[in-house]
Structure 1
Amino acid sequence: MKVRTLPVAEPRFVRRFLRLTAARHRGELGKVLALYGAAVSSGLVGPWLLGSLVEDLRHGTTTGHVTVVIAALTGFILLQTFLTRIAFRAAGRLAATVQGEIREKFVDDVLDLPIATVESADDGDLVTRASQDSETLRRTMQLAVPQVTEALVWIVLGIVALLVVSPLLSVALLIILPPLYAVNRWFLARAREGFLREAAASSGITDGLDATIQGAATVESHRLEKDRVLRAEQATDTWYETMRYTLRLRTVLYSTEEFLYTLPLAVALLLGGYAYSEGWVGIAEVTAATLYILQLMFPFETLLDWVGTLQQGSASLGRLLGVSAGAGGEDAGKEAPVGAQASGERVAVDAVDLSVRDLRFAYEDGPQVLHGIDLSIGRGERVTIVGPTGSGKSTLARLLSGTYAPQGGEVRLGGVALAELAHHELRRHLVLVSQEQHVFGGTLRQNLELAASHLPQEGGPEGGDAALWSALATVGATGWVQGLPEQLDTTVGVGGESLTDAQVQQLALARLVVADPSVLILDEATSRLDPGSARELERSFAAVLEGRTVISIAHRLHTARDADRIVVVEGGRVVESGSHQDLLERGGAYARLWSSWI
């Protein structure tokens, strides 16, 4: 079963993001590197002191001199431990800061995603990115990155110290660098794609389990238990195969590097002994060089331990940043082009119209749903779109709201193509309210204030409450909200008071009143209410619609009767347009729908 996923950021995009992040935190990064450099330098003094002590002992020295050398060695070891601790904590703080920025960016990017993009991916993909990929990145940033940074500083300064002490004995270390480079290049060329496939397969497991849990009643009533178990097993087998692939990569890498790490010390001892016997180097150089090579094995081992985690972290970062790619690639999060911003300024609240020209759309791998629709809706006009089930009404609503992008033609708001408007600018003027609404875990006040960012703050909390109560009164929700234990401060949603479908819909419409957009698109917004409640809500809502451009998608034809204009859609085409009475007199498609409804 193919897993549908959101985009994954390309490696060059990830590298660019990391470069920009490093530049933004250059001060903290410089401090971390300086601390690690000082710690490593303290540790590199030890082999030089011991080499000199061995040479002194060979030629004869005093007990006092030995004591001084041991005391100095102990002091440098303590200094190294102290500086390493400070450096590790500084690196951890920097990593936590960057990780927090990445998480905030991920949340912002998810909220900026068009609904159509979210719907194109399986639910498990976004959940896995927010949980598993976020946790993998946390482990990489807070554990792997500080230790790898220290290891790299050790390797660079250790090789420099080795070259200074004895260029000849440095050959013992340098002979393993080419094969180390080759095996790591082989691993890195394959690991990222392997870990991405593993993450995608894990998303498939999450999506399947989520669907089974959400549809537990349906699974039980239709006896689908075996089918769901089989699907879970298939998803697990797919994940297992991808995991085996990455495991094979790591097995080759680790076993090769473990073998290579045993060579330098043996070569150093053999080469050092021979060079000393030939008089090419002294005993101090042999001792110091051997100890430096021994020291360097530990940071190499650290790299070996964490290289797989780094690749997993890189893949997870690509998946988290890929959400931004889904919202616009490398330009995600940037302001809209100057032309778009300038055009957006012309879309004033008191001068808005909506026009559609040659609009065409088809879902992925499916036939065309809309066929060249032309439509013009003037400022303040109330238009109701009707048609039989499957005619394309809801698809048209999502295209008019900018949720879906047309595959042909365009939708213009105030003379500006929707594609040219920044997302936040578009939503200031145009809002879609569908039959699917969500109550966020939190207080009723917080649910309403999601749409209240534009409200003036002069009135303080009481002034803000007045606007919220006014919105609730407009949609007829004052009664049941006043009956809640803490009214606006009552917790609703997950872990709070349960709301009926009618109350959820009223809350959604109250949010709409608070948002105060210029253009409203109502896609069967009252469909979850019983007919009596729906009529009452529609009557109370009439005052809010006054003076606005309103487009309603309706199955209940009584809601169309009071519209300024009714647009009839059949087979993805506009077949009729006019007032209720005009269309009845024509005796066409609308008259047939009305007759069936009556």
Structure 2
Amino acid sequence: MIGVAPPAYDPAAPTTATTLPVGAAATVRGYVAELFRRHRRAFLLLIGVNTVAVLASMVGPYLLGGLVERVSDGSRELYLGLTAGLFVLALAVQAVFVRQVRLRGAMLGERMLADLREDFLVRSVGLPPGVLERAGTGDLLSRITTDIDRLANAMREAVPQLAIGVVWALLLLGGLVVTAPPLAAAVLLAVPVLVIGCRWYFKRAPSGYRSEAAGYAAVAAALAETVDAGHTVEAHRLGARRVALSERRIKEWTAWERYTLWLRSVLFPVINAVHVIVLGSVLMVGGAFVLHGWIGVGQLTTGALLAQMLVDPVNLILRWYDEVQVAQVSLARLVGVRDIEPDAGDVSLAPDGRDVHADRVHFGYREGVDVLRKVSLEVAPGTRLALVGPSGAGKSTLGRLLAGIYAPRDGRITLGGAELSRMPAERVRSHVALVNQEHHVFVGSLRDNLLLARTGATDTELWAALGAVDADGWARALDDGLDTEVGSGGLALTPAQAQQIALARLVLADPHTLVLDEATSLLDPRAARHLERSLARVLDGRTVVAIAHRLHTAHDADVIAVVENGRISELGSHDDLVTADGAYAALWRSWHG
């Protein structure tokens, strides 16, 4: 049956559907070794209590073998009372330590799982923002949900159970060697069958499970993108196309599911055959040895019982090793973020001044397709620069480049003479901040949400920041003030209020250069205008790059840059550009009617 070809599946099923990498084997091994080093004491304690439990379980076969030996010799001194007492004592010790094995194993698994979750979160948050933006919703969701769920069972049970099974099997084999050495060789007759079957299975299983996980990620990505863009799909009548894509992804995923199921359907009969060979070889070889007088009946009894007991640890090892194969794929996807070089930058690089300069910048999201081309721009300290232009012209992309989120493909963007792409991310964030249209309210108090920007801020400073963005009115009306729980499970804030909290964080962070990408888009025009005037007082003296479709923002700016087709087509003040009667003047007339 091992020679049967795998069932037909679509060769187009993706082996990867991610932007974030899948961890290399060396990365996975290194992380597992690191986890064991962290929990070395707990792991050794688990091995210790498991050893006692297994040794206690071997007392019964040893006592029974001795009893059978004495009966076969015709001895009248059977010591039944002592034998029964020792057997009951061994059972009691085994029960106590088996409980400890389960308890210690569960504790070890939970601690390792907690470490894994925390490591993934910390590492992911530390990645450059541009990497996470390119990763895609489906990939991130599948890693943090499905892969964590798959790993949860492995961490809680598979790793501890594998350790238990290995120790169990080794001790039983050791006991077999000590009590009936000739029978230990009989057990080896099943080893070739087990090795061949397992090598066949585990040669195919990792790639199969990896493809299965990638297929699920592709399904999640297709469904998430369709739901997120539901209005666009409906408006452009793309429903049938998106359904066809989802069905194709599901078909590819289920093909890999069937393939991995087929692999298991081959492995399990092999395991059953191994159990039969082990017990049969021990009984037949042992029986022949007894007839020739090479071993006693008691040794055969003890050896047969120990061989039969090998069934459980072998099943345990293979069952949980199979689980680990599935988990290994998820673990590789989670620790894959470690293969991304950290954005350490040049720690010695620091800006000497506050002027921002873009020199012949090219940038694109895909190879060979540039969104920005030959963009050059100088922004003096304290300047209010407005980026305007039609949708899709590249305004937000240029804003992210000026904020240090992306690095240009060609050309340089500098802050105070220091190249932004070469500076450490933390240093960039201390000088430049980006506030866009996407705002998140974290679960916790209003105070905690604000302290994210500056952990040492006092309540007076928090209220001042809220006042600067016209949010102190509704915030003071809350029953618990700054202690009010917001976010999921707490007070549901409106999008406009969430936007004001994000802007209050900006005030608290106190960077000298700001990039505002439609930062007031969720407010109605009158409230947005009022808020921008309030912010103008707070932002006085700072360099501000504002990306907006509302041209009153451009009217108030010192300099306006018109972005068209990835280039800056016009640059100047509002009055100069209106007088020039070019692209900006046309936008202004259209906006004003």
Change (3 A) 1:467 1:572: same
Name stretches of at least 5 consecutive residues in structure 2 with no aligned partner.
1-12
| Greater displacement, 199-208 / 547-556 | 199-208
Q: Which residue of 1 aligns with 2:507?
A: 513
- 1:13 deviation in Å? 0.7
- 1:86 deviation in Å? 0.9
Are 2:115 and 1:101 equivalent residues in the alignment? yes
Alignment of 1:364-513 (within 5 A): 364=366, 367-453=369-455, 455-456=456-457, 464-513=458-507
Paired with 2:225 and 2:282, the residues of 1 have a C-alpha distance of 60
> How many residues get paired?
578
Change (3 A) 1:277 1:501: closer
2:28 to 14, 24, 39: 14
- 1:591 deviation in Å? 4.3
2:156 to 136, 142, 150: 142
Structure 2 SS opposite 1:404? coil
Q: Which residue of 1 aligns with 2:298?
A: 284
Q: Which residue of 2 aligns with 1:554?
A: 548
CA contact 2:469–2:534 (8 Å) conserved in 1: yes
2:563 to 569, 572, 575: 569
Structure 2 SS opposite 1:168? helix
Change (3 A) 1:563 1:212: closer
Alignment of 1:63-462 (within 5 A): 63=77, 65-211=79-225, 214=228, 231-325=245-339, 328-329=340-341, 336=344, 340-343=346-349, 346-347=350-351, 351-364=353-366, 367-453=369-455, 455-456=456-457
Q: Which residue of 1 aligns with 2:539?
A: 545
Change (3 A) 1:26 1:223: same
- 1:541 deviation in Å? 0.4
Paired with 1:417 and 1:37, the residues of 2 have a C-alpha distance of 60
The amino acid of 1:541's aligned partner reads L
- 1:225 deviation in Å? 6.8
Q: Which residue of 1 aligns with 2:9?
A: none
| Greater displacement, 198-207 / 216-225 | 216-225
Structure 1 SS opposite 2:22? coil
| Greater displacement, 420-429 / 36-45 | 420-429
Q: Which residue of 2 aligns with 1:460?
A: none
1:266-298 CA-partner distances (Å, limit 9, x unpaired): 011111111222233333332222222111111
Change (3 A) 1:221 1:392: closer
- 1:100 deviation in Å? 0.5
The amino acid of 2:554's aligned partner reads A
The amino acid of 2:256's aligned partner reads T
- 1:359 deviation in Å? 1.9
Paired with 2:348 and 2:230, the residues of 1 have a C-alpha distance of 51
The amino acid of 1:342's aligned partner reads S
1:342-399 CA-partner distances (Å, limit 9, x unpaired): 33xx358xx4333333321112256211113233334333322233332211111122
1:211-237 CA-partner distances (Å, limit 9, x unpaired): 555566677788877666555544432
- 1:414 deviation in Å? 3.9
Please report the RMSD computed on the Cα atoms of aligned residues, expressed in angstroms: 2.9
Structure 2 SS opposite 1:528? coil
Structure 2 SS opposite 1:371? strand
Paired with 1:21 and 1:431, the residues of 2 have a C-alpha distance of 36
Change (3 A) 1:193 1:379: farther
- 1:522 deviation in Å? 0.8
Change (3 A) 1:588 1:181: same
Paired with 1:166 and 1:514, the residues of 2 have a C-alpha distance of 76
Change (3 A) 1:441 1:26: closer
Q: State the percentage of identical aligned residues.
A: 40
The amino acid of 1:127's aligned partner reads L
Paired with 1:159 and 1:311, the residues of 2 have a C-alpha distance of 26
CA contact 2:189–2:281 (8 Å) conserved in 1: no
| Superposition TM-score, scaled by structure 2 size | 0.89
CA contact 1:9–1:321 (8 Å) conserved in 2: yes
| Greater displacement, 401-410 / 130-139 | 401-410
Are 2:61 and 1:47 equivalent residues in the alignment? yes
Paired with 1:217 and 1:382, the residues of 2 have a C-alpha distance of 35
CA contact 1:358–1:408 (8 Å) conserved in 2: yes
CA contact 1:4–1:120 (8 Å) conserved in 2: no
Change (3 A) 1:311 1:268: same
Paired with 2:466 and 2:66, the residues of 1 have a C-alpha distance of 84
| Greater displacement, 221-230 / 307-316 | 221-230
Change (3 A) 1:251 1:469: same
Structure 1 SS opposite 2:557? coil
- 1:4 deviation in Å? 4.4
- 1:248 deviation in Å? 1.0
Paired with 2:101 and 2:586, the residues of 1 have a C-alpha distance of 78
Q: Which residue of 2 aligns with 1:459?
A: none
The amino acid of 1:352's aligned partner reads R
Paired with 1:160 and 1:236, the residues of 2 have a C-alpha distance of 49
Paired with 2:404 and 2:431, the residues of 1 have a C-alpha distance of 12
Q: Which residue of 1 aligns with 2:573?
A: 579
Name stretches of at least 5 consecutive residues in structure 1 with no aligned partner.
457-463
The amino acid of 1:309's aligned partner reads E
- 1:101 deviation in Å? 1.0
Paired with 1:414 and 1:182, the residues of 2 have a C-alpha distance of 65
Change (3 A) 1:203 1:522: same
- 1:19 deviation in Å? 0.5
Paired with 1:497 and 1:65, the residues of 2 have a C-alpha distance of 75
CA contact 1:172–1:265 (8 Å) conserved in 2: no
Paired with 2:453 and 2:175, the residues of 1 have a C-alpha distance of 62
1:519-547 CA-partner distances (Å, limit 9, x unpaired): 21111222333332222111100122122
Paired with 1:488 and 1:263, the residues of 2 have a C-alpha distance of 71
- 1:134 deviation in Å? 1.4
| Greater displacement, 511-520 / 210-219 | 210-219
1:60 to 74, 79, 83: 74
Paired with 1:8 and 1:199, the residues of 2 have a C-alpha distance of 11
